[in-house]
C-alpha cells in the first residue's frame, strides 16, 4: 500500500504553484495526501487561482482531502491523526518564516505549526521548505503599475470587476482586495493602459537573520530542510508496491 502524506501549506506565494504540482504528481503515483492549509494559505491559494485545483486533486478515500484552518475548532484536532499512524511523512511546503520560527521555538498555535509539532513528537519525518532560505523567483498574484494609472482620471477596470476586488481610490486611483479576486481577468479588458498584470515575477532574497533561524531548524532531529517541492519525490519511497 502506498504511503500517506500530510502536506502543510502556509501563506507563502513562492514555490506555491510548484508545491501543488508536486502534490498532483504524488497523487498520480498513488499516494494518499491530506493538505493542511493555514488561514493565510487559503487566501494565497485563492489569489493564485490554485484553491479549486488543489481541492479537485485531493478527492478520494479517507484521509485524502483538504483541511482548512478556517474550518477547524481550537486545538486543530485533524492534526492529531498523526498519533493514529495515518501518515508516514509530513511536508510543509512552502513554509513562511513565521511558521519556521514557530517550529524552531516549539510553538503550536496554528494548524500547520501544530501539525509540525505533532510530527516531531511522533517521530515522523518532517520535510520543510522555507521560502526565505534561498534566492527564489516568485509571482505576485496581481500587480498594478501606478505610473500607468496616473494617465486616467478614473479607473475603468474597477467598473469591469464583477467580484468587487477593484475599487476606485481617491489617492491611488484604484485599490485591490486580493481576497475577492477570482481571476476572471475582466479588469484586463477594462484597463486601457495595460496597468494590471497577473502573476508578476519578482526575486525574493534571503537575509542573514532568516538564515540563522533556518540553520536552527536543520538542527531539530527528524527535520530535513529542502530547497524545492520536487525533492519530496526523491525523499519519499516511490518503490513501494501498490
| DSSP codes of every residue in 32-58 | EEEEEE-HHHHHHHHHTT-HHHHHHHS
CATH of the domain at 171: 3.30.70.20
Does any domain span residue 240? no
In degrees, rounded to 5, the angle at the alpha carbon of residue 76 between the alpha carbons of residues 112 and 81 is 85
Instruction: Judge if 41 and 101 occupy the same domain.
Output: yes
Supply the range of the domain harboring residue 186.
136-203
- Is the model's pLDDT at 239 over the cut of 60? no
Q: Which of 66, 68, 124, 133 is nearest to 101 (CA)?
A: 133
pLDDT band with cut points at 50, 70 and 90 for residue 241? very low
Cα separation of 110 and 68, whole Å? 11
> How many whole angstroms separate alpha carbon 12 and alpha carbon 44?
7
241: in domain: no
CA 95 – CA 115 distance, rounded (Å) = 12
pLDDT value for 240: 52
Do β-strands 223-225 and 126-130 pair in parallel, antiparallel, or remain unpaired?
parallel
Question: For the domain that residue 117 is a member of, what is the CATH number?
Answer: 3.40.50.1950
Q: C-alpha grid cell for residue 204?
A: 525574493
pTM score: 0.86
> Does residue 178 fall inside a structural domain?
yes
Give percent of the chain with pLDDT exceeding 90. 69
- Residue 227 CA to residue 235 CA, distance in Å, equals 12
Q: For the chain, how many structural domains are there in total?
A: 2
pLDDT digits (tens, 9 = 90+) for 89-141: 999 999 999 999 999 999 999 999 999 999 999 999 999 999 877 777 778 88
Give 224: exposed, middle or buried? Use CB within 10 Å, 0-12, 13-18, 19+. middle
Amino acid at each position: 500500500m502506498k504511503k500517506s502524506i500530510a502536506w502543510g501549506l502556509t501563506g507563502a506565494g513562492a514555490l506555491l504553484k510548484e508545491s501543488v504540482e508536486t502534490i498532483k504528481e504524488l497523487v498520480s503515483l498513488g499516494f494518499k495526501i491530506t493538505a493542511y492549509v493555514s488561514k493565510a494559505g487559503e487566501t494565497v491559494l485563492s489569489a493564485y487561482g490554485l484553491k479549486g485545483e488543489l481541492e479537485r486533486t485531493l478527492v478520494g478515500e479517507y484521509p485524502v482531502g483538504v483541511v482548512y484552518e478556517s474550518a477547524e475548532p481550537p486545538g486543530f484536532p485533524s492534526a492529531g491523526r498523526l498519533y493514529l499512524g495515518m501518515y508516514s511523512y509530513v511536508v510543509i511546503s512552502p513554509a513562511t518564516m513565521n511558521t519556521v520560527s514557530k517550529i524552531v521555538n516549539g510553538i503550536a498555535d496554528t494548524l500547520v505549526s501544530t501539525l509540525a509539532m505533532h510530527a516531531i513528537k511522533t517521530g515522523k519525518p518532517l520535510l520543510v521548505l522555507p521560502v526565505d532560505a534561498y534566492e527564489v523567483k516568485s509571482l505576485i498574484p496581481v500587480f498594478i503599475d501606478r505610473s500607468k494609472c496616473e494617465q486616467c482620471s478614473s479607473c475603468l477596470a474597477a467598473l469591469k470587476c464583477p467580484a468587487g476586488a477593484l475599487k476606485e481610490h481617491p489617492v491611488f486611483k484604484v485599490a485591490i482586495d486580493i481576497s475577492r479576486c477570482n481571476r476572471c481577468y475582466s479588469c484586463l479588458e477594462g484597463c486601457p493602459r495595460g496597468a494590471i498584470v497577473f502573476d508578476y515575477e519578482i526575486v525574493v532574497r534571503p537575509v542573514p537573520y532568516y538564515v540563522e533561524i533556518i540553520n536552527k531548524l536543520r538542527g531539530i532531529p527528524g527535520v530535513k530542510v529542502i530547497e524545492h517541492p520536487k525533492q519530496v519525490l526523491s525523499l519519499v519511497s516511490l518503490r513501494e508496491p501498490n
